Homo-oligomer: A and B are copies of this chain.
């Protein structure tokens, strides 16, 4: 638990992760046909016990978030019954929910496909929200930016979930095709800006509950750095997130609302474009300097120039085998 504590502290310093407990290690043969939705009650029991154990750990460690993603689903038409599986998911989660201590939030992540290729049990925000509604107010939806069918308007889903008080958190990453898990903002930075726009607007709302919900949103990076070095990739990720947020904060929301009310389509859109076109790197350097960051102007360049990567790579070569990146 020492390591975990250190990890939590580190995460808190980065301001990115929130010490979430994630029990998704349902990898053994028993879970081949599902965990929460498995047709065999014995397997569901086993999975439930694992979940209850996680809730207990969360209580013991003071974790505030129980972040859940289930690989449950089917690969072939007829393999199992959609409605029965839905009922099993609801029943198991209800038992877990009842065991949760007061301060813990359950976050239900959705995903349209993979590893299940015909039907995933929590396949979109709608089914996650429906499940949360049945559980209670401590259950919220987790939005992984890569878990949507092509064409999905993610910022609109964010707005809807905020409005319902059910946006729990994010898994940040980016994709061009499926769940590609690329660096956040690397493929479609404007979408990331628009998502932050919804969050900023909610945080500045006159509705107190909306403000509270928006400021409690948990942000996590969930990426796979298959070919790039991990530390530069994380720095790039943080830079991209900061830029999108800073630009979203620059939008003149009073003027925006006036133009929206007046039906001035191009005028309203141009307010977003103007904020987005602004170069926020000087501002962010200023903020980083104020936070005591040693290389506020160019964290990525400074890291590269430091030679740290080559240093640890050399050290590791003598020890354990190095993976890609």
Contact = CB atoms under 8 A, between A and B. Distances in A.
B127 A75 contact: no
Interface in A181-200: 181-183, 186-191, 194, 198
A153 B228 contact: no
A304 to B, nearest CB: 7
Contacts of A243: 277
B75 A236 contact: no
| Copies of this chain assembled into the complex | 4
Interface stretch (A16-24, A46-54, A91-99, A108-116): A108-116
Given A236-B266, A263-B39, A153 B127 contact: no
Interface residues of A, number: 97
A270 interface: yes
Contact of A86 (B83, B133, B163, B276): B163
Given A130-B160, A227-B33, A300 B270 contact: yes
A118 B83 contact: no
Nearest to A205: B83
B236 A270 contact: yes
Interface stretch (A4-12, A57-65, A144-152, A289-297): A144-152
A270 B211 CA distance: 34
A175 to B, nearest CB: 7
Nearest to A158: B82
B153 A150 contact: no
A118 B182 contact: yes
A88 to B, nearest CB: 12
B130 A164 contact: yes
A79 B64 CA distance: 37
Nearest to A82: B159
A123 interface: yes
A172 B111 CA distance: 26
A267 to B, nearest CB: 7
A40 B151 CA distance: 29
